[in-house]
Structure 1
Amino acid sequence: MTSPFEIRVVLADDDPFVRRGVADIFAATPDIRVVESVSDGDEVPDAVRNHRPHVVLMDLKMPRVGGLEATRRMMALPEPPKVVVMTAMDVDDLVVQSIEAGAHSFLSKSEAPETFQMSIRVVAAGKTLFSEESVRQIVTARPRESTGGLERLTDREIEVLRVMATGATNAAIGQQLFLGETTVKTHLSSVFQKLEVGSRVGAALVAFRAGLVS
């Protein structure tokens, strides 16, 4: 019987050894379960419909349908799962495009097992795990300049965005700006809507490109 606290994951990667290794990482946890593993992005929609996962962990480069296109298809669903993309390389343009398409986070396949587990838990909780350095790498990989709707933000929303872009949690944002966590969540929801982004990473990209974070 499925635990109400269990995080369901669909894993998509064309390498069977990667699928096995990642599945083993989550098998060691009591709260994360790989409900299906597929070998290509075109198999993800059926897996999502059949299992209703909380998170799809997706390789970026697969033979038929890569992770970028599969992410775009997921985001078009009425209630899309969270998407974490995996890459065997450093941050590149595919990672950037995937984040802009709606992926909530990204992982290098060389990360420690604990990082995989933490990322899935954080993303499943509706948050995003990223560091200031990782966003700098994204901006360096694709330094497109855009205000991205910043002119629609209030002064307080810009303050919240600036702190969030450094990788701060809601609690840390609230502590720094003397706000309650509920108020921080309300501001961030408005920021995402006005910037037309689907994740904290997407909003952080706008902040970095606009020079809000030095």
Structure 2
Amino acid sequence: MIRVLIVDDEALVRSGLRMILEAAGDMAVIGEARDGDEAVTAVARLRPQVVLMDVRMPGTDGLTAAARVLAGPDAPKLIMLTTFDLDEYVHEALRLGAVGFLLKDTPPRELATAVRTVAAGQAMLSPTVTKRLITSFVDKTPSRAESARNRLASLTAREEDVIKALARGLSNAEIGRELQLSEATVKAHVSRLLAKLGLANRVQAAILVHEAALT
């Protein structure tokens, strides 16, 4: 069972998310929190695998809580929840190490899939969301583009194919089908290229590719 913590200041939202996730059959909501302070305490006490965290809450907000949670030992996978599909706070959370974000009106099946995806170690960004997020927030200055291209020059041809597909928001399985590779091989390529580039996650890799204008 995937152990999930839900963090949102609205009881109705927490209740709805709990019903959706527990109906999936392979995940258990082990706790809820109403704000960032409660979230940090709950993570330390309950040790969830995945945290669904609202980005905007009274008191200690989701971004502040995300920084504290992700800085701790054995940090859980963190998905930010937002009412808006493009939010500078979510972008900052991704830079901190969150592995994805979801709109609060995400269909139940997609929500469950997202939790499974991040629990398995992959980032959760749909191609549409990836494109809009990257387009709005990447540094497009010539010096930054040159720096990004220089970093990517260390990749092999196959690693470059993988990271370009990754930057389009494709999952490991989708990349494998496109490049005729097994999912395990794609996962190994992603791990190696992240280590080679000194990146924390797939989102940072996507940003780098877009800054290099390779898409």
Name the amino acid aligned to 2:198: E
Match of 2:70 among 71, 75, 82: 75
Cα offset, 1:81, TM superposition: 0.4
Aligned pairs (5 A) from 1:1-214: 6-145=1-140, 146=144, 147=148, 149-213=151-215
Looking at structure 2, the residues matched to 123 and 79 of structure 1 have their Cα atoms a distance apart, in angstroms, of: 15
Looking at structure 1, the residues matched to 105 and 182 of structure 2 have their Cα atoms a distance apart, in angstroms, of: 37
Cα offset, 1:170, TM superposition: 2.2
Question: Residues 12 and 212 from structure 1, CA distance in 2 versus in 1: closer, same or farther, beyond 3 angstroms?
Answer: same
Name the amino acid aligned to 1:24: M
Question: Residues 64 and 140 from structure 1, CA distance in 2 versus in 1: closer, same or farther, beyond 3 angstroms?
Answer: same
Q: How many residues of Structure 1 are paired with residues of Structure 2 in the alignment?
A: 208
> Which consecutive residues of structure 1, in runs of 5 or more, have no partner in the other structure?
1-5
Question: Residues 16 and 119 from structure 1, CA distance in 2 versus in 1: closer, same or farther, beyond 3 angstroms?
Answer: same
TM-score (norm 1): 0.88
TM-score (norm 2): 0.88
Looking at structure 2, the residues matched to 153 and 128 of structure 1 have their Cα atoms a distance apart, in angstroms, of: 21
Name the amino acid aligned to 2:14: R
CA offset digits 1:81-136 (Å, max 9, x no partner): 00000001121211111111111110001111112111111111111232222111
Name the amino acid aligned to 1:36: G
Aligned to 1:106, the other structure's residue is in SS state: strand
Cα offset, 1:28, TM superposition: 1.6
Aligned to 2:39, the other structure's residue is in SS state: helix
Task: Give 1 or 2: higher helix fraction.
Answer: 2
> Which consecutive residues of structure 2, in runs of 5 or more, have no partner in the other structure?
none
| Root mean square deviation of aligned Cα | 1.9
Cα offset, 1:166, TM superposition: 1.8
**Preserved CA contact (<8 Å) 2:10 2:34:** yes
Percent identity between matched residues is 38
